[in-house]
């Protein structure tokens, strides 16, 4: 898991180091308290049923799921790390890579697609110099695609953190990025 400050996992994230458990005891206590409130028993199969909600909680706390957190959750539930990692890598909501300060998500649902979301995505990729799913080197932006936020009347839609931009054209991309600073 590397030394506390040389693991290189801290790019761009507020809580970025992989050794997040020791570095942020309050957050760890928060996660531990949540997990202790669950009916964790001896039966492995039943404990597994609690895994996904624990991962949701952990990602809510740390922003991503570094190996140390995965191991912590696995140990608490009596599961193997491989089982936990298998679940994380399967579901698109979970990530084990730190995300940037601003999450830019271009809706790639069908309605947005027919209204030109692919062009908007291409423009974000060009301006930020990263591909879909990547984070800029300065850790400011993570670019991603998502499937339908249900605001199809505003298509194409871009979500920046919790804010929704509607009827986005490639020409608006620069302004949207500027808005984040």
Partner 1 sequence: MIENAKQLAEKADGIRKEHAGRSKIGILVSMGTCGIAAGTTPILNAIRDEIKKQGRDGEVEVIETGCMGLCHSEPTVEVFDRESGASVIYGQVTEQQAAAIVESGSKPAAGATALSRGWYYPEDEENKDNALQARIVLRNTGRINPQSLEEYLVQDGYAALAKAVTTMKPQDVIDTIIASGLRGRGGGGFPTGKKWAFAAAQKNDTKYVICNADEGDPGAFMDRAVLEGDPHAVLEAMAIAGYAIGATKGIIYIRAEYPLAIERLNIAIDQARKEGLLGKNIFGAGFDFDLELKYGAGAFVCGEETALIHSIEGMRGEPTFKPPFPAISGLWKKPTIVNNVETYANVCAIIRKGADWFKKIGTAGSPGTKVFALAGKVNKVGLVEVPMGTTLRDIIFGVGEGIKDGRAFKAVQTGGPSGGCLKATELDTAIDYESLKALGSMMGSGGMIVMDEDDCMVNIARFFLEFTLDESCGKCTPCRIGNKRLYEMLQDICEGRGTMETLEKLDTLSRTIKDTALCGLGQTSPNPVLSTMAQFKDEYLQHIQEKKCAAGVCHKLITYTINESCVGCTLCARNCPVDAISGERKGRHVIDQDKCIKCGVCFEACKFHAIDKS
In whole angstroms, what is the distance from residue 148 CA to residue 107 CA?
6
The CB density around residue 123, as the number of other CB atoms within 10 Å, is 19
What mask, x for binding partner 1 by CB under 8 A, covers residues 73 to 112? -------------xx--xxxxx-------------xxxx-
Q: Which of 119, 112, 126, 109 is nearest to 177 (CA)?
A: 126
- Return the residue of 6, 41, 53, 131 that touches partner 1, per CB under 8 A: 53
Q: For the chain, give me the number of helices (H) and strands (E)?
A: 9, 4
- Return the residue of 114, 137, 161, 175 that touches partner 1, per CB under 8 A: 114
Q: Evaluate whether 23 touches 33 at the Cβ level (below 8 Å).
A: no
Residue 178 binds partner 1 (CB under 8 A) = no
* Closer by beta carbon to partner 1, 66 or else 156: 156
Instruction: List interacting residues with partner 1 (CB under 8 A).
Output: 45, 47-53, 55-56, 86-87, 90-94, 108-111, 113-115, 119, 122-123, 126, 146-155, 157, 164, 166, 170-171
């Amino acid at each position: 898991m590397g030394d506390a400050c040389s693991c290189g996992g801290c790019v761009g994230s507020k809580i970025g180091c992989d050794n997040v458990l020791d570095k942020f005891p309050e957050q760890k206590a928060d996660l531990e308290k949540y997990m202790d409130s669950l009916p964790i028993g001896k039966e492995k199969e039943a404990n597994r049923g609690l895994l996904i909600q624990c991962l949701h909680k952990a990602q809510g706390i740390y922003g991503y799921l570094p190996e140390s957190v995965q191991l912590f959750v696995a140990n608490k539930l009596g599961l193997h790390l491989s089982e936990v990692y298998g679940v994380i890598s399967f579901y698109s909501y979970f990530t084990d890579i730190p995300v940037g300060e601003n999450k830019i998500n271009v809706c790639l649902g069908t309605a947005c697609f027919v209204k030109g979301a692919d062009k908007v995505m291409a423009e974000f990729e060009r301006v930020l110099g990263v591909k879909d799913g990547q984070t800029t080197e300065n850790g400011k932006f993570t670019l991603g695609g998502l499937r339908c936020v249900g605001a199809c009347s505003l298509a194409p839609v871009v979500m920046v953190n919790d804010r929704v931009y509607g009827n986005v054209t490639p020409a608006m991309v620069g302004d949207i990025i500027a808005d984040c600073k």
